[in-house]
Structure 1
Amino acid sequence: MLRGGAGTMGTYTHDRDWVRYDQPRRGIETLNAFFRGHAFDRHAHETLAVACTDSGVQRFRYRGRQHDSTCGGMIVLHPGEAHDGECGADDGFAYRMVYLDPSYGLELLREADLGPHLPFAPDPLTRDPHLGRAFAVLWDALGEPGERLRQDEALVRLWQSLAGNRARGQAVPSVSYRLARVRDALADAPQEHWSLDELAALAGMSRFAVCRAFRRAYGVPPYTYLLTCRLARARQDLAAGVPAAEAALAAGFVDQSHLTRNLKRRFGMAPGRFARAAAGVVG
């Protein structure tokens, strides 16, 4: 199993998949995992995701293209943009990922006069050494819960690297305020059983138009985005020790089995295993 600080390689077994999940502080989630085959189905995150491939070939589809990240490759995925994941070679792949609250990054960028938008990476794969070092520093810092200042400095450094890595003059995709209203409603109340009529009314658009425009804007249809929000809510509850059945209902799933199916498709593990991973039990 992969262990050790950022920038170092630990040892890991190849006999089965494993995942380690953590919420080291508010607004940040981390995932350290190894997969031999299919890792997760197509989905989107509400966060900015930055990852480092530690071994093997990490294959994913993003913005209509297939990408292969090898050892040392950095991956940057924008909030709301759909992707999947699988192994691109027979011996599996290991990676570390940090999920960042975009609102914190926006605040930092505005303070530094680096623009009103999140850094937009036209290519999700990069070997930019500045970003790689910033990621390694942050990963190390997050491993020391009591060192708040060290973590803050590492976060600033990572966001600065992301801002410096974006393409010059690259336009940030704009999203209609109408669609943003739908997205925010789904994110704020994932436990609600929304109908397409309700979403169309929120957007002031026809049902056909809101489905088509939402997918174009966020890479997934409204229901897939709603599942993403429900999984985020359920993951928070599971990490806090809430029983799986209660977490499922609170997040808007029909029952525990509904949560289990979706959690396994997106994160490669059932609720019980996810809860153990969140508690620091690897494997």
Structure 2
Amino acid sequence: MASRREGARDSEWARHWQYPGVPGLDLLRARYVRHSFTRHSHEGFVLGAVRRGVEDVVMPGETIRARPGTVVMINPEVPHSAHAGVPEGWSYATLYPSSTLVAAIAEEETTLRGTAGFGETIVEDEDTAQLIRAVHRAAEEGNALAADSVLRVAVARLLHRHGQSLPRREPLATGARTAALARELLQQRMAEPPSLEQLARELGTSPFALLRGFKAAYGMPPHTWLTNARVRTARRLLESGTPPAAAAAAVGFTDQPHLNRHFSRIVGVPPGAYQRERARTYKTVEPPGP
């Protein structure tokens, strides 16, 4: 199990992996005490169930306290951060279903139209929290039928109880159009990004106007967004077998420790542990344990 250290009362451990039996799903099971997640977002959904302790999740405009019996639901591209809400930290199971997987379940099992998502960020729902943990157990046992079945039941239940059609994107105003162009330039020049002043000059605006417009559009300033984008790209490189040091250089981090620090604070495990799990789960399907 990746990055696991047992024994001390304040020990932390985590496993972030994919199970080949359920395409379109990442899984994270962990106990964190001192660890914190910096502001970031995901391309897909986040469905989390705390088993012990309290996790404070900082969402736009509010901080929610995730306790046992609750389910946290975060829609794609919504910026958030997290840290322990009590001295003993928290342990939890989290599912990261892709947008494509959730959309397929919504189309088959609900009457939601357009882009399906969740209208609430946290709910009291012990039954579904147990299902989230059951998906992990089934995947860890190598039971593809159970893992896939329980995942679909859990997502369908959450969509029925708390789902809604997400608002359609309105035509971009001038500030949002400029922010979108800035994002494209940062993506293209990830390894050697311009300064805020240079970026603003290229786009024909001022640094503060760009800073305000970018944060309004994406919920985080350009430098935070760039770190998140670098980690996303590094994940894909690691999954393809690129060594961590080479991945760090490719996305613009100064060295591997620089990648390690940011990767761990966004993904929840170091890049080496992430890559080892991907190599194991992509290339081999292990039989159930004894």
- Shorter-chain TM-score range: 0.7 to 0.9
Spell out, residue by residue over 1:203-232, the C-alpha distance to the aligned partner (whole angstroms, 9 max, x if none): x98765554344223322233223222212
Q: Does 1:68 align with 2:84?
A: no
1:159 alignment partner in structure 2: 155
> Runs of 4 or more off by more than 6 Å in structure 1?
196-202, 204-207
Pick closer, same or farther for the CA change 1:17–1:144 going to 2, 3 Å: closer
The 3-state SS of whatever aligns with 2:105 is helix
1:244 alignment partner in structure 2: 244
The 2-side partners of 1:146 and 1:190 are apart by 43
Q: Does 1:20 align with 2:15?
A: yes
Matches within 5 A, 1:195-234: 195=194, 211-234=211-234
Pick closer, same or farther for the CA change 1:72–1:241 going to 2, 3 Å: farther
Matches within 5 A, 1:43-82: 43-82=40-79
The 3-state SS of whatever aligns with 2:264 is helix
Pick closer, same or farther for the CA change 1:108–1:217 going to 2, 3 Å: farther
1:118 alignment partner in structure 2: 116
The 3-state SS of whatever aligns with 1:47 is coil
Pick closer, same or farther for the CA change 1:165–1:138 going to 2, 3 Å: same
1:31 alignment partner in structure 2: 28
Pick closer, same or farther for the CA change 1:12–1:103 going to 2, 3 Å: farther
Spell out, residue by residue over 1:147-191, the C-alpha distance to the aligned partner (whole angstroms, 9 max, x if none): 2x54443343233123213267x8637465648955984797584
RMSD, aligned CA:
3.7
The 2-side partners of 1:235 and 1:14 are apart by 31
Contact 1:44 1:220 in 2 (8 A): no
TM-score relative to the length of structure 1: 0.75
The 1-side partners of 2:265 and 2:233 are apart by 16
Q: Does 1:95 align with 2:100?
A: no
1:6 alignment partner in structure 2: none
| Partner amino acid, structure 2, of 1:221 | P
The 2-side partners of 1:114 and 1:56 are apart by 34
Q: Which runs of 5+ in 2 are unaligned?
A: 281-290
Displacement of 1:107: 3.3
The 3-state SS of whatever aligns with 1:115 is coil
Pick closer, same or farther for the CA change 1:190–1:56 going to 2, 3 Å: farther
1:108 alignment partner in structure 2: 105
Residue of 159, 167, 173 corresponding to 1:172: 167
Contact 1:190 1:252 in 2 (8 A): no
Spell out, residue by residue over 1:115-138, the C-alpha distance to the aligned partner (whole angstroms, 9 max, x if none): 21132233x211224532442343
Q: Which has the larger radius of gyration?
A: 2
Aligned length: 267
The 1-side partners of 2:108 and 2:200 are apart by 35
The 2-side partners of 1:17 and 1:140 are apart by 20
TM-score relative to the length of structure 2: 0.74
The 2-side partners of 1:167 and 1:150 are apart by 24
Pick closer, same or farther for the CA change 1:109–1:211 going to 2, 3 Å: farther
| Partner amino acid, structure 2, of 1:131 | T
Over the matched positions of the two proteins, sequence identity in percent amounts to 28
The 2-side partners of 1:200 and 1:145 are apart by 54
Q: Does 1:260 align with 2:255?
A: no
